[in-house]
């Protein structure tokens, strides 16, 4: 495993992050494809063995049961001080005024609830899952600053917004001497490269690390075109995030071609491409089988050649960025 600093912060993370949306109680109604605690154990063991110490979850994943499973896994397979633990706030946890969003009430209520479920006194990275358009930037940034000063979070991060929106939040913090974001968790993969237009330039200028979600395009880049999985058939966000455009087919075919020539998995090639971007600190890898983490780790040893990169990027066309709107939100509880 390789390790790096998250942007220009002092926080050292593994170059791969374990995505924990995969783990949770299916009876919660959040997803039909989540793995229960017993089914999750091989994944956690494999992550520790591979040196993947950056674990990312959220309060909304399976409505809290993901955090519970992750918290117990840390105690069982590792030590709290050896894991860089990240969680998020924004999506609905209940109907009350503190149940969603990033108001002061919501942030203060939800950080305490997350810490209880995770069984820890602090998280290393506390992220706003989306931008709350109904709460002033000053209120959100001051509340996050207070969470850090209270020792409940070591760093803060953001996720999935426009570059100007992120810049506004950062400069709001600067104007008041509050804690700044050290990370941006954004959608970035060979099928969705819109972050390259403005966000990545901003992150490089501000010393903020990118922690891409869905680096494999919801799994579409990890298998031949047309091959379906239980998740692709049952995940309602799948069709909203990635269309059936002909260019998508050609991109997936290019990944398959490069992978076959290299003798590695398609996931390895798709991840190697993401990791090659200097703004990227650690792509988030969601796994339902231990071998998937092995394939991800192999990507760290892959340096793509100019011809391979050209083939992978050739068929990309500009498209509307997805993953930021209300339509892409998980189901309400």
pLDDT profile of the chain (333 residues), mean per 10: 97 98 84 87 96 98 95 97 98 95 98 98 98 97 98 98 97 98 97 96 98 94 79 52 74 97 97 98 94 95 97 93 62 47
CA dihedral 139, 140, 145, 148 (to 10 degrees): 140
CB neighbour class for 224 (10 Å; exposed up to 12, middle 13-18, buried from 19): exposed
**Catalytic-labelled residue, pool 61, 91, 126, 188:** 61
Instruction: Cite the beta strand spans of the chain per DSSP E.
Output: 3-5, 12-14, 17-19, 54-56, 84-89, 123-128, 153-159, 181-185, 209-210, 284-286
Active site includes 61?
yes
**pLDDT for position 185:** 97
**pLDDT for position 327:** 46
**pLDDT for position 332:** 47
**pLDDT for position 326:** 46
In eight-state DSSP terms, residue 262 is: H
3-state secondary structure of 58: coil
**pLDDT for position 323:** 82
Cα separation of the two ends of the chain = 37
CA distance readout (Å), 230 to 33, 95, 255, 281: 7, 31, 22, 30
Token couple for 89: 């706030």
For the chain, domains (ranges, CATH) are 3-328 (3.20.20.100)
Handedness of CA 16, 219, 63, 7 (dihedral sign): positive
Location of structure tokens 């010393």: 207
Interatomic CA distance for residues 186 and 195, integer angstroms: 8
Interatomic CA distance for residues 197 and 280, integer angstroms: 15
């Amino acid at each position: 495993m390789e390790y790096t600093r998250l942007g220009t912060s002092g926080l050292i993370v593994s170059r791969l992050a374990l995505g924990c949306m995969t783990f949770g109680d299916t009876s919660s109604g959040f997803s039909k494809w989540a793995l229960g605690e017993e089914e999750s154990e091989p994944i956690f063991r494999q992550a520790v063995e591979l040196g993947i110490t950056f674990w990312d979850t959220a309060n909304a994943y399976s409505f809290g049961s993901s955090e519970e499973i992750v918290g117990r896994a840390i105690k069982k397979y590792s030590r709290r001080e050896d894991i860089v633990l990240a969680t998020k706030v924004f999506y609905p946890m209940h109907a009350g005024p503190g149940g969603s969003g990033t108001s002061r009430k919501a942030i203060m209520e939800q950080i305490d609830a997350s810490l209880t479920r995770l069984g820890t006194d602090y998280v290393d990275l506390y992220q706003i899952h989306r931008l709350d358009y109904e709460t002033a930037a000053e209120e959100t940034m001051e509340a996050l600053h207070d969470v850090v000063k209270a020792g409940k979070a070591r760093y803060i991060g953001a996720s999935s917004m426009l570059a100007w929106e992120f810049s506004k939040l950062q400069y709001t913090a600067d104007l008041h001497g509050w804690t700044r974001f050290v990370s941006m968790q954004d959608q970035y993969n060979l099928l969705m490269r819109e972050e390259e237009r403005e966000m990545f330039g901003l992150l490089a200028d501000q010393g903020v690390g990118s922690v891409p979600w869905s680096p494999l395009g919801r799994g579409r880049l990890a298998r031949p075109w047309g091959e379906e999985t239980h998740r692709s058939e049952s995940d309602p966000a799948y069709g909203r995030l990635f269309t059936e455009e002909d260019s998508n087919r050609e991109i997936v075919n290019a990944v398959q071609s490069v992978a076959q020539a290299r003798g590695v998995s398609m996931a390895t090639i798709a991840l190697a491409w993401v990791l090659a971007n200097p703004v990227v600190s650690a792509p988030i890898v969601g796994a339902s089988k231990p071998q998937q983490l092995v394939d991800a780790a192999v990507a760290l040893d892959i340096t793509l050649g100019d011809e391979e990169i050209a083939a992978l990027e050739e068929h990309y066309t500009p498209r509307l960025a997805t993953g930021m709107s209300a339509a892409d939100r998980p189901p309400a509880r």
